[in-house]
Amino acid sequence: MTKRKSDFTLPTYSLDDLFSSQEERDDAKLERVKDIPLCELHPFRDHPFKIQNNEEMKHLIESIKKFGTITPALARPLPEGGYELISGHRRLAACQVLGIETMPVIIREMTDDEAVIAMVDANLQRETILPSEKAFAYKMKLDAIKHQGVSSSQLGTRLIRSDEKVALDAGESRNQIQRYIRLTHLIPELLSMVDENKIAFNPAVELSYLSRSEQFILLDAIKQNDCTPSHAQSIRLKKLPQEGTLSRDTIFEILAEQKPNQQEQYKFKREDIRKYFPKSYTDKQVYDTVLKLLEQWQRKRERDREAR
């Protein structure tokens, strides 16, 4: 006769479970504000929001110096110990500047996706947010919503898409959310120029469709011509790869075009300059060499004047 396996298994309890009441166990799960040592607080992984030494940050430091950290940060426990900050990165930085050893924190258990969504929502309340910060924050939140296994959410009596949910929470249109996310395809150097207002938002979105190698060529052309592409030029640059006609020479020719309200520049035909240099020279090497030769010529003229 074979023994039948029992379908009944006893639940396992820890000693704390066995010798504590249900009320005590429920109470232990309640969220509380705790003073956590700064050394136990760790930045959120891939945190897209920068801590800038601007006026906003200076006001925060001054406020904490006078009144302390009034609003608690939010963090979740890490498996290896310590806590991962969800919100409060600038407060942490301000406390570090002031030499404060602890700060008030709400500790909350959260999944990775819940943590990402909470982090983005909390930091989007800032007064000043850079385009790159919005771009990566929106992308992280959209990926987290999709990763939760929900392609659409219920809103009243209708279903909404994941990107529409991000748009509603951010107070943006769905199209604008997608345009911001496009900026994550820019190389860091060009994205920094967007944050610095050297490249406008609309041209930046068009340029994000260029490949990385094409973007690096564009960066060289921007430096050489000391100008950035207009919206019209950016649209042209986006379309040319689709036609298979975008080349290094084309990028430099487009950037060298005169634009409205642009400072007058000296222009030379490329072939008139290239013939004096080895074929192996890049455009940047040609540009740098011409400048160096002009500097040497200027120094020679100054020496000749002094010798008279």
Residues 6+ apart with CB under 8 A from 31: 106, 107, 108
Q: Which residue has the tokens 């003073």?
A: 35
> CA-to-CA distance for 225 and 210, rounded, in angstroms?
19
* Residue 154, helix vs strand vs coil: strand
Q: Comparing 82-86, 204-208, 275-279, which segment has the lowest mean pLDDT?
A: 275-279
Q: pLDDT band at residue 14, thresholds of 50, 70 and 90?
A: low
> CA-to-CA distance for 228 and 17, rounded, in angstroms?
65
Q: DSSP E strands: which ranges in 25-67?
A: 33-37, 41-42
> CA-to-CA distance for 75 and 104, rounded, in angstroms?
10
φ and ψ at residue 187, rounded to 5 degrees: -70, 155
Q: What local confidence, expressed as pLDDT, does residue 161 receive?
A: 78
**Strands 102-107 and 73-77: what pairing?**
parallel
Q: What local confidence, expressed as pLDDT, does residue 31 receive?
A: 75
Q: What local confidence, expressed as pLDDT, does residue 157 receive?
A: 40
pTM across the whole model: 0.69
> CA-to-CA distance for 119 and 141, rounded, in angstroms?
9
- Lookup: tokens for 54: 């601007």
Residue pLDDT, tens place only, 214-267: 999 999 999 998 899 999 999 999 999 888 888 999 999 999 886 654 555 566
> CA-to-CA distance for 83 and 100, rounded, in angstroms?
18
Q: What local confidence, expressed as pLDDT, does residue 218 receive?
A: 96
pLDDT exceeds cutoff 60 at 8: no
DSSP 8-class letter at 14 = -
Q: What local confidence, expressed as pLDDT, does residue 169 receive?
A: 81
Q: What local confidence, expressed as pLDDT, does residue 221 receive?
A: 93
* Burial bucket for residue 228 (CB in 10 Å: 0-12, 13-18, 19+): buried
pLDDT exceeds cutoff 90 at 204: yes
Percentage with pLDDT > 90 across the chain: 51
